[in-house]
Amino acid sequence: MPTAAYALTVVLSLPPELAVGVILVGAAPGGTASNVMAYLGKGDVALSVAITTVTTLAAPLVMPAWVVALAGEQLQVGFMDLFVNIVQIVFIPVVLGFALRVVLDRNAPEVAEVGLDVFPLVSVLSIVAIVAAVVGLNVDTILGAGAAAIGAVVLHNAIGLGTGYGTGRLAGMSEDRVRTTTFEVGLQNSGLAAALALSFFSPAAALPPALFSVWHNITGPLLASYFSRSATESSGGAPADD
């Protein structure tokens, strides 16, 4: 996904700010939407959660390395600036979330169950607010170079989904794991990319991640629905095994 992002910025001759945004999306870890899509699309949910967790925990090191390597000439920030910010945005909340869940499961399981309903909604509303703010700040950019940004986002997502599926097939994975790798490669944590773009670059740099957030929440459910129907049909109409 990082190299595909860079190739698209070159082929489409994107302005520097938009190019940085596309590269940020490509370098981001897998998004939690991939876990939901793996569940809806009859994938291996445990594998999906494991991949998302590992890539998220590795993000403070991996993401800045990719961004600096691919967009170094356009950056006014260094590896450590990005590293510290990603640790604050991703690593610390994830660790605290795990710790809170363990404590609540042991001492207040009822509260933990309520949290499972409340916190995902908070997360969704936060992402919607970020996307709305970014789009509102980029009306002129959307009217100008927006077509190129939209094209980059659509192609980037398609490349991710296609290569994820193809890699799973070439590796001889089971069908449910092929579906999982499809979503894990194609659905990025665009919310993180947008937050970093707003923190270190400009509202224009946050436009590709915001558009990606919208677009992958269209292609993801569509593909999950197709996978689910295919799994049901292949099992003769009976529910497919998870």
The DSSP code sequence of 122-178 is HHHHHHHHHHHHHHHHTHHHHHHTHHHHHHHHHHHHHHHHHHHHHHHHHTT--HHHH
Among candidates 77, 55, 57, 25, which has minimal Cα distance to 193? 25
Neighbours of 108 (CB within 10 A): 12
Q: Is the pLDDT of residue 157 over 90?
A: yes
Instruction: Assess if CATH 1.20.1530.20 describes domain 2-234.
Output: yes
Domain ranges of the chain: 2-234
Contact 39, 221 (CB under 8 A): no
The pLDDT tens digits of the residues spanning 36-76 come to 889 888 999 899 989 998 998 888 899 889 988 887 766 66
pLDDT for res 76: 66
pLDDT top residue among 189 and 4: 4
Give how far the C-alpha of residue 215 lies from the chain's centroid of Cα atoms, to the nearest Å. Answer: 11
Among candidates 56, 63, 7, which has minimal Cα distance to 35? 56
pTM: 0.80
Q: Is the pLDDT of residue 190 over 50?
A: yes
pLDDT top residue among 77 and 30: 30
Residue 30, SS3?
strand
Q: 97 falls in which pLDDT band (50, 70, 90)?
A: confident
Contact 3, 143 (CB under 8 A): no
Contact 52, 158 (CB under 8 A): no
